Amino acid sequence: MKEYTVVFQPGDAAVEVSAASTIMEAMDKAGIDFDFPCGGRGKCGKCRVRVLSGAGGPTAAEREILGPRELSAGTRLACAAKVHGHMSVELPQRLEHNVLMASGERNCRIEPHLKKIFVNVEKPSLSAQRSDWRRLKDSLAQYGYGTAHLDIPVALLRRLPETMRRADHCLTVVMHGSEAAGIEEHDTTAAMLGMALDIGTTTIVGYLLDLYSGKELCAVSMLNPQTRFGADVISRINFANREDGGLDKLHKAVLEAVNKLIGEAAGKAGVGREQVYGVSIAANTCMHHLFLGVNPRNIAVSPYVSAVSEPLVTGARDLNIDINPSGKIFMLPNIAGFVGADTSAVLLATELNKSQDIKLVIDIGTNGEIALGSRERMAACSAAAGPAFEGAQISGGMRGAAGAIDHVRFEAGLAYSVIGGGRPLGICGSALLDAVAGLLELGIINKRGKLLPRDQLTNAAAELKDRLVEQEGQSAFLLAGADKTGHGRPVMITQSDIRELQLAKGAIAAGIRVLMETLGIGPGDIREVLLAGAFGNYLNPRSACVIGLIPPELENKIKMIGNAAGTGAKLALLSSSEYRKAAQIAEFVEFVELGSYPGFNGIFARNTYF
Amino acid sequence: MKEYTVVFQPGDAAVEVSAASTIMEAMDKAGIDFDFPCGGRGKCGKCRVRVLSGAGGPTAAEREILGPRELSAGTRLACAAKVHGHMSVELPQRLEHNVLMASGERNCRIEPHLKKIFVNVEKPSLSAQRSDWRRLKDSLAQYGYGTAHLDIPVALLRRLPETMRRADHCLTVVMHGSEAAGIEEHDTTAAMLGMALDIGTTTIVGYLLDLYSGKELCAVSMLNPQTRFGADVISRINFANREDGGLDKLHKAVLEAVNKLIGEAAGKAGVGREQVYGVSIAANTCMHHLFLGVNPRNIAVSPYVSAVSEPLVTGARDLNIDINPSGKIFMLPNIAGFVGADTSAVLLATELNKSQDIKLVIDIGTNGEIALGSRERMAACSAAAGPAFEGAQISGGMRGAAGAIDHVRFEAGLAYSVIGGGRPLGICGSALLDAVAGLLELGIINKRGKLLPRDQLTNAAAELKDRLVEQEGQSAFLLAGADKTGHGRPVMITQSDIRELQLAKGAIAAGIRVLMETLGIGPGDIREVLLAGAFGNYLNPRSACVIGLIPPELENKIKMIGNAAGTGAKLALLSSSEYRKAAQIAEFVEFVELGSYPGFNGIFARNTYF
């Protein structure tokens, strides 16, 4: 029989097929990965391609689905159109989706981890007595699964014979790599949702996405219920190891929360939770381990190693995650004990590994994760900032919640803003930064962090001298007094508060310094500073630079990028190649352990100065 | 640095390595699969190879372990000896083990499915902060797992950090392909047992084997407890589908039995059941499905398809099989609804696929599985013989148990033997065959199976004419009368018994006939007839040929091969390549559905004649 050459664009894959083969058969022969949701029966119209010459006349199915306009433009159905001459076929571009970051967006080509394939399985007969699973595999062979060894879990096998017959042999198979992860009756290819989760120590944020279009259906968040067992990573590790069944309690608490959040998101979007097939997880190393039920103990003791850093895929059922039973959980990779999968996600979102220019990425929290580098080289560390940025250990400190002073200005007298308005109840991290920066610029605090006595103040500062008070034997600056009725506590910044901030900013600044030393660069070599996370998006860049949290030379290069860990989780969920990229990034980053860095104590001490 | 060529024998794999590399490193580079139980530390002496030239002087470890005699013969330790010139290395032959069949044995090269690898994992330090799993993988890299993606189940990951530290980082990893299936403290490489099981409808037989040496430690057997839910395959399928929770009851009954049997075998051999890492299962398709908990319903209704025919590997834990938790269950492949994994096992044991000569293999039971062919082509069918061979539906019929007449001779008068001696309680299948064959040769039964009236007997038969009696309105032949005291039932062969036998032998003979037709051959082309299974090993070949159960031309070619299904299960357990071969055989065999074979009813009817 006559053979013709079919060339596929883009990619230039070429294949010889005999006359009257369908384009679908040619694709199969060329090993082109393409979905035929209706099983190549010319029903769904989802295999549109563009053909310039060499095809036979349109079939009835093509006429019905495509109509004269599409046909005259060369559009054909790959499953129906036949090869009658040498042919060039233009394949549709795969869907690219914009994944939003607070200040900018990046494209990602959608490549779902899981594929849904609708098949019309051959019915058994005395002349087709192959087993159910074999006939199903033979149907899958048209979709490129012909040569691979396919796996099926026993649990699924138990349901196969009945499901198959109840659905009159029309099945949708959920494939994960070479494993048949799920089997559903009839054509369910339309629904394929996923949830990207950023499990923070304090807050869990989730995004419900359509895995085909990449569209975000809704975002949800909740307090991490593990907080009742400890506010920070270290106290949870202690709880896991000192309390009876502590690890299990922490593990179950986060699973319950995740299940609740998925339910909430599904409800909000008006879909069923069983339509969710994939969940990606970005989290710090401790949250990552607790989610899996792995004891994070060794993260907390020298030499601070995690149990696992590699990306891990596990069945939703194995972890009791209440989504479609065939669903999979995709854990992003950790980098080190205190630089977790959340940082991998941030680096994936910011594409540091692709950048020609050197960038600095900082995610400030109780631990500040810092990464510096470009596609040439990348280093990361975790700086133990302590809780000052979150308002803890500060005399009037509180979280950035209603009633907190969140920003302070000293232009034309002292002014501050309160979250939700009204009388201030306390001060949160971003305002502490502003206040200290202002006092520093006014000369009320010196470079070593000392609140100067009234008689040493400059003229400019003298206007505020009445605010310098004594408080329990130490100097303090009165930010907001009690109200006229004498109600409420005055909000002060004490000398100890300033010392706490110095320790926190010293840790971050020293981390940045060490990373610069590691790469042999200075602040002038850094093109951009990307601030991720809640605190990073709230602080005033100028204040951060004035107090030396961030090198002052970089003030105009600071960009807020929102919840970049969440963005990274979305990317890893929508695209298997982004997920693989996260693993490459985690491998590529050089982890710098600050505790063992030569001369670190000196660097830290110097950086506590303003 | 200077490079030398190292050539490995047998196999001629050649590799270039730099001077002073160890032979172990050269093996690794050449991709040679070899075990270094002590981790290549020159401690265990298990990596002996023979080197003729090119090696450096022996190391202290080699001197200690090998001694002057081995050293002078060229024996070296691959982990210690260094390459100092072009080198030819003789690898030890892998262990070949004889697997016994009743009449003959065959060799199998031992290639365990699971490997135990003892590793000394690098301890974490501030300069080695890789995760636990990563450091373990790095240790495995020396054993050829360097480039592969390795999997670890979450359940194992949960135990990893503690196990690792408790064992001071000395671990034995149980590998199954690229999956770390188990992690044990310290060096447990010495113990690696497996159980080969043949799950019959009536009897379960198990063999406990050492997976390294292939040595059989003991054999055990028990009644399949499913018999209380139905004696044969069809009644169990009915029970599974008509009773509430019927499937589950059958599934649990066989699991319990298997667990009991494994415990019994371990007890007998004086080992712990947790030393068992692999279980292979040969069973007919229905028993196979019930073992997995898969409903066998569709096997029993036209077109008689199974849910799964492919080989399946599943975790011991997933099936609640009580062996080492990292153990795996290896299901042999089914061929069709009524030609199961037991037949695949028989064919693997008999190596029909390697035979130049055409052989006929018969496993007679309620269903007779018949296979015919050679390495060129092979066909198999299942003949519904019914229960006559097992003594059911026969007036005086019983199983081959104590009290059963098991053989009958007509030389020099009528004589019979009784199992266990004493008065006969009934007659089992083999004796029915003998009796009918004898009556046929004497002319008491004609070709159509009719017991002739006394007046039509030949002289020879006349001696027995008093034994021709009337029994409930039909002719019968009295085999054993009531005893002198009048106790006990007389044992007769009635006209209906003969009809039952005709149906049974007709089914088998017709099956053989159809297979011969399918392959286009006659009895003269068959070199050997292999009878497998309990009944096959008990019957008198001559009787089988006289009544035409087996073509008479083949009488001298009959060989009993014992429990060949059990032998096949052993082979599949000891060697992963034998297991793969079973799958190839199951694929290769052409299944012939007798019910839809053209003209089958006529063939069957003709074959009911003697």
Residue-level pLDDT at B558: 95
Residue contact B154–A124, C-beta within 8 A: no
Q: Using CA atoms, how far apart are residues B289 and B306, in angstroms rounded to an integer?
A: 8
Residue A350 has pLDDT above 80, yes or no: yes
Using CA atoms of B145, B572, B249, B276 in order, give the dihedral in degrees to the nearest 10. Answer: -60
Closest approach of A564 to chain B, Cα-based (Å)? 24
Q: Provide the β-strand partners of residue B75.
A: B50
Tokens of A412: 């034309």
pLDDT at A169: 95
Distance, C-alpha A263 to centroid of its chain: 20
A380 to chain B: which residues are within 8 Å by CB? none
Quickly state the pLDDT bin for A48 (edges 50, 70, 90): confident
Which residues does chain B have within 8 Å of residue A312's beta carbon, measured at their own beta carbons? 154, 157
Q: Are B563 and B102 in contact (CB under 8 A)?
A: yes
Q: Is the peptide bond before A10 cis (omega within 30 degrees of 0)?
A: yes
To which H or E segment does residue A417 belong?
A: strand A415-418
Interface pTM, i.e. ipTM: 0.84
Tell me the whole-structure pTM to 2 decimals: 0.84
Backbone φ and ψ for B567, nearest 5 degrees, come out as -60, -45
B132–chain A Cβ distance below 8 A for any pair: yes
Residue A160 to residue B131, Cβ atoms within 8 A: no
CB B390 within 8 A of CB B399: yes
Mean of the per-residue pLDDT values of chain A: 91
Question: Of the given ranges (A555-569, A576-590, B275-289, B478-492), which has the lowest mean pLDDT?
Answer: B478-492
pLDDT tens for each residue of B539-563? 999 999 999 999 999 999 999 999 9
The model's confidence at residue A487, banded by pLDDT at 50, 70 and 90, is low
Q: What mean pLDDT do residues B459-473 have?
A: 84
Is the preceding omega at residue A541 within 30 degrees of 0, hence cis? no
Q: Is the pLDDT of residue A484 over 70?
A: no
Q: Is A308–B126 a contact, with Cβ atoms under 8 angstroms apart?
A: no
CB contact under 8 A, A314 and B161: no
Are residues A307 and B133, on separate chains, in Cβ contact within 8 Å? yes
pLDDT at B408: 94
Predicted confidence (pLDDT) per residue in A296-317, tens digit: 999 999 999 999 999 999 999 9
Is the CB of B147 inside 8 Å of chain A's CB atoms?
no
Given an 8 Å threshold on Cβ–Cβ distance, is A303 in contact with B337? no
**Average of per-residue pLDDT across B135-152:** 86
Alpha helices, H only, B243-355: 246-269, 285-292, 297-300, 341-350
**CA angle, corner A237, sides to A232 and A238, nearest 5?**
100
Cα–Cα distance between A388 and A539 in angstroms, integer?
A: 13
User: Mean per-residue pLDDT for A13-36?
Assistant: 84
Write down the pLDDT at residue A483: 67
CB contact under 8 A, B293 and A154: yes
Q: Give the residue-averaged pLDDT of A359-363.
A: 96
Mean pLDDT of B452-464: 83
For residue A308, the chain B residues in CB contact (below 8 A) are 131-134, 152, 157, 160
- B305 reaches A (C-beta below 8 A): yes
Radius of gyration of chain B (CA): 30
User: A365: which 2 tokens?
Assistant: 């929290």
Q: B378 is written with which tokens? A: 């092979």
- Out of A124, A134, A295, the one facing B303 most closely (by C-beta) is A124
Calpha distance B339→B347 (Å, rounded)? 11
What is the spatial distance between Cα A124 and Cα A289, in angstroms, rounded to a whole number?
47
Nearest 5°: phi and psi at B583? -65, -40
Task: Evaluate if residue A288 carries a pLDDT over 90.
Answer: yes
Mean pLDDT, rounded, for A395-408: 88
pLDDT at B147: 67
Count other C-beta atoms under 10 Å from residue A600's C-beta: 17
